[in-house]
Amino acid sequence: LAKTTQPISMDSYEGQEVNITCSHNNIATNDYITWYQQFPSQGPRFIIQGYKTKVTNEVASLFIPADRKSSTLSLPRVSLSDTAVYYCLVGPFTGGGNKLTFGTGTQLKVEL
Amino acid sequence: GAGVSQSPSNKVTEKGKDVELRCDPISGHTALYWYRQSLGQGLEFLIYFQGNSAPDKSGLPSDRFSAERTGGSVSTLTIQRTQQEDSAVYLCASSLNRALGETQYFGPGTRLLVL
C-alpha cells in the first residue's frame, strides 16, 4: 500500500498562498493522487486530482514531481473559509478499495 | 440532485448492542465505499462495493463488522456486539464507477457513540 505522510497542521493568513505537501514514497505506477477537503461535521469533498506534472482547476493547483514520490497542493490566496482538514489520497482506479490510502490529514487554519 | 445521504446522523448505543448504519448513494453510482474516522484521525477504509461484484471486505476490522448492498443501491453497515472502540464517524461515499479519475462523493457521516 502507498503510505502517505502529511504535516499535521499549518497556519496561514488570508490572502496568502498555502502549499501542503504529501509524501508517498512507494507510490505505484498505476496510482493517482487525489486531494480532499473536510470541514467539521461533514464528509470530505474532492478538490483536485493528478497523475504527474501539474494540474490546475478553479480552486487549487497540484504539483507532482517526475518521481511522483510527493505531491503539493497549492491553494492561492486563502480565506477564512479555507480553514479545514486536507487529505491526500493515493490509489489506483482499478482493483480493490483497500488500495486506497488516505493520509492523516493536514489541519489548515487561516487567520485574519 | 441529491447527494449521498446517511442515517442516522447520530447513534448512541450501549456496549454489546448491534447497530445498523444506512447509506443511500447518488443515483446511478455503481461504486460505494465505507470508511471509519475516529476522533482526530484520518479515514480508515472498511469495505467497497462495485456493481454486482463481491465486495472487497479487506478493511473490515473484525468479524463483528459486515455490510451489504441491496439492489446495487442502498448499503447497510452492521456492527454486532458493539465495543467502545467502535465509537467513530462512519462515512459512506459513492462514485460513478471504479474507473479512472472517479471522484468519491461523501455523505455527512453517522456519528456512533458506544457507551
Look at A90-94, B19-23, B32-36, B65-69 and tell me which has the smallest mean pLDDT: A90-94
Q: Does B104 touch chain A (CB under 8 A)?
A: yes
Distance (Å) from the alpha carbon of A66 to chain B's nearest alpha carbon: 20
Residue of B nearest to A40 (CA): B108
> What is d(CA B108, CA B91) in angstroms, rounded to the nearest whole number?
7
pLDDT number for residue B101: 54
Cβ neighbors of A63 (< 8 A, separation 6 or more) are A54, A71, A72, A74
A43·B48 Cβ contact <8 A:
no
Q: How far apart are CA B64 and CA B82, in angstroms?
A: 8
Report the distance separating Cα B46 and Cα A97, nearest Å.
Answer: 8
B41 at A interface, C-beta within 8 A: yes
Q: What is the pLDDT of residue A63?
A: 97
Instruction: Residue A26: name the closest of A67, A54, A66, A61 by CA.
Output: A67
In chain A, the residue whose alpha carbon lies closest to the alpha carbon of B88 is A41
Chain position carrying cell 442502498 = B74
Cα nearest neighbour of B38 on chain A: A104
pLDDT tens digits for A4-37? Answer: 899 999 999 999 999 999 999 988 888 889 999 9
Q: Is A105 left (phi over 0), alpha (psi -120 to 50) or beta?
A: left
Average pLDDT over chain B, rounded to an integer: 89
Q: What is the 3-state secondary structure (H, E, C) of B48-92?
A: EEECCCCCECCCCCCCCEEEEEHHHCCEEEEECCCCHHHCEEEEE
For cell 475516529, the residue is B38
Does B109 contact A at CB distance below 8 Å? Answer: yes
**Per-residue pLDDT for B10 more than 50?**
yes
pLDDT value at position A2? 60
Which pLDDT score is estimated for A36? 94
Helix (H, G, I), strand (E, B) or coil at B38: coil
Residue B48 in contact with residue B54, Cβ under 8 Å?
Answer: no
Q: Is the pLDDT of residue B68 over 70?
A: yes
- Between CA B113 and CA B88 the distance in angstroms is 7
pLDDT at B100: 45
Average pLDDT for residues B40-56, to the nearest whole number? 83
Q: What is the mean pLDDT of residues B80-106?
A: 86
* pLDDT level of residue A96 (50, 70, 90 thresholds): low
As a whole number, mean pLDDT of residues B62-73 equals: 90
